[in-house]
Chain A
Amino acid sequence: MSMRLFKKTAALGILISILAGFSGCWDSKEIDTIQIVTGVGLDKAENDEYVDISIQIAKTSPSAPGTKDSNGNGDSKIILESSKQTILEGVAELNLNNSRSPIFHHNQVLLISADLAKEGITEYLDAFMRDREARLEVLVVIVDGEAKEMLQADFEQEKVSGIFLRRTIRLLSNVTPEYSVRMIDLASRLRDESISPVATLVRLEDNDDKKNLLVEGMAVFDSEGKMIGNIDADEMRGYVWAMGKVEQGRVAVECEYGRAAFQIISMDCKRNVKLNEKGQVNVSFDVDATLNIGELRGFENLTPSELISHLIEETEGEIEDTIKGTFQSMQDLGADIYGVGLDLKRHHPKQWDKLKDRWEDYFSEAELELDVNVRIPGTGQIKKSLEMEDGENES
């Protein structure tokens, strides 16, 4: 064989082997050998050493034609369960007894039951973050109840509850991004010693046959990842309003003249943290809110200009009370969910060094100065409430 021909054949051989090698044949996963995980749930097991792991799988193909279960429609998800000491072992066991291997790339939520959360979530987060298939934007949700039940629930809007949860929370995040807690947000807060992590708290409501999702509020953790308390839906607003960047929401006030409900157009909060002369922490929140009147009831004896100034007064009071209330509850809990310590660290690092070891105490004794400013530019489609006086034109 001539040298040229040999060279050409050798080159061709090399090229083909490069093609083969580069196509990643080691890593190929055929679609009928995988299961797509859409939700993972962690529950407390009866055995203290163990943790109950439930994995929700979305079926990639409907059940074989001709076989239907009693509902008349094929189930679109299956739940796998396992109970082991570590998450790795649990998933390995599921892998073992299965014809397909689960892949976590499309995992939507990580559900942790409140009971388990009280014992600490840090170790589980570590397992999920290390796994290279893990997605750091997985939403972490705490379930008041059993995570397994939540995964098994059939909601009307979506067949797969993992997807339902994720979409519900994403909708909530239109109000403010603070509502959707991703794994990376949680991990970031856990890493920092001062700020207390929070996570959305949900509950499954059983109304006869229909299951409902209730967003109860948020769960509050200490710096070691143990759940120490929770805030309910109202207090949640106090937290979120103090964090600023709110673009949706309602404020309702009731006063001697009547009732009013408002839509929040925007709410921003500027924060300032410093130490006063006594060495105490001084936190000042400067809230700027723009509201639109949504609903008015009463206010018969007011003229429109009096109305607006009165409403502004009432809403400012209401916002102030809500924020103060939540702040106080958090101080009682010793949980700095606002990131006051973080602000101090960022702007006054030297002063922070002195405080950081006993931040919980300093936070509990912090003084809060609140300044709320409300603007009400619009009143909706109608200018006066139906019961108001037919008075002079507004100024």
Chain B
Amino acid sequence: MLVLLLVFALIALIDFGPLVRKKSRRGMIGFLTLFTPALILAILLRNKSEVPSLLQAVDNFFKALGFSY
């Protein structure tokens, strides 16, 4: 767990820092949209909790519509 948080902190340091420095608001928002789900997913996975799969949800949706072999 500690290693995981360390890694994410490192990513933030390497990439978010320059974005702040350049005052690129859009860049920061883009970064956070990628960073936050990644962090949440990583913590959930580390805790071995059941993360529902987005792709499987889409698959089931199509299956329900009858689109499947």
- A/B contact in complex, CB under 8 angstroms: yes
User: Which residues of A does B touch, CB under 8 Å?
Assistant: 7, 10
In the assembled complex, how far is the CB of residue A1 from the closest CB belonging to chain B, in whole angstroms?
12
**B contacts with A: majority SS:** helix
Instruction: Say if the beta carbon of B14 comes within 8 Å of chain A.
Output: yes
3 A-B pairs with C-beta separation under 8 A: A7-B14, A10-B10, A10-B14
**A contacts with B: majority SS:** helix
Taken together as a complex, chains A and B put the C-alpha atoms of A10 and B7 apart, in Å, by: 12
In the assembled complex, how far is the CB of residue A4 from the closest CB belonging to chain B, in whole angstroms?
13
| Nearest 3 CB-CB pairings of A with B | A10-B14, A10-B10, A7-B14
User: Which residues of B does A touch, CB under 8 Å?
Assistant: 10, 14
Closest to A11 in B: B14
Taken together as a complex, chains A and B put the C-alpha atoms of A10 and B11 apart, in Å, by: 11
Contacts of B10 in A (CB 8 A): 10
Contacts of A10 in B (CB 8 A): 10, 14
Taken together as a complex, chains A and B put the C-alpha atoms of A7 and B13 apart, in Å, by: 10
Closest to A10 in B: B14
Taken together as a complex, chains A and B put the C-alpha atoms of A7 and B10 apart, in Å, by: 11
In the assembled complex, how far is the CB of residue B9 from the closest CB belonging to chain A, in whole angstroms?
12
Taken together as a complex, chains A and B put the C-alpha atoms of A127 and B40 apart, in Å, by: 41
Closest to B17 in A: A3
Closest to B18 in A: A3
Closest to A3 in B: B17
Closest to A13 in B: B10
Taken together as a complex, chains A and B put the C-alpha atoms of A7 and B14 apart, in Å, by: 8
Contacts of A7 in B (CB 8 A): 14
In the assembled complex, how far is the CB of residue A2 from the closest CB belonging to chain B, in whole angstroms?
13
Taken together as a complex, chains A and B put the C-alpha atoms of A10 and B15 apart, in Å, by: 13
In the assembled complex, how far is the CB of residue B18 from the closest CB belonging to chain A, in whole angstroms?
9
Contacts of B14 in A (CB 8 A): 7, 10
In the assembled complex, how far is the CB of residue B4 from the closest CB belonging to chain A, in whole angstroms?
15
In the assembled complex, how far is the CB of residue B14 from the closest CB belonging to chain A, in whole angstroms?
7
Taken together as a complex, chains A and B put the C-alpha atoms of A10 and B10 apart, in Å, by: 9
In the assembled complex, how far is the CB of residue A11 from the closest CB belonging to chain B, in whole angstroms?
10
Closest to A7 in B: B14
Taken together as a complex, chains A and B put the C-alpha atoms of A172 and B18 apart, in Å, by: 71
In the assembled complex, how far is the CB of residue A266 from the closest CB belonging to chain B, in whole angstroms?
48
In the assembled complex, how far is the CB of residue A17 from the closest CB belonging to chain B, in whole angstroms?
11
Taken together as a complex, chains A and B put the C-alpha atoms of A7 and B17 apart, in Å, by: 12
Taken together as a complex, chains A and B put the C-alpha atoms of A10 and B9 apart, in Å, by: 13
Taken together as a complex, chains A and B put the C-alpha atoms of A10 and B6 apart, in Å, by: 13
Taken together as a complex, chains A and B put the C-alpha atoms of A10 and B14 apart, in Å, by: 9
In the assembled complex, how far is the CB of residue B66 from the closest CB belonging to chain A, in whole angstroms?
31
Closest to B14 in A: A10
In the assembled complex, how far is the CB of residue A9 from the closest CB belonging to chain B, in whole angstroms?
12
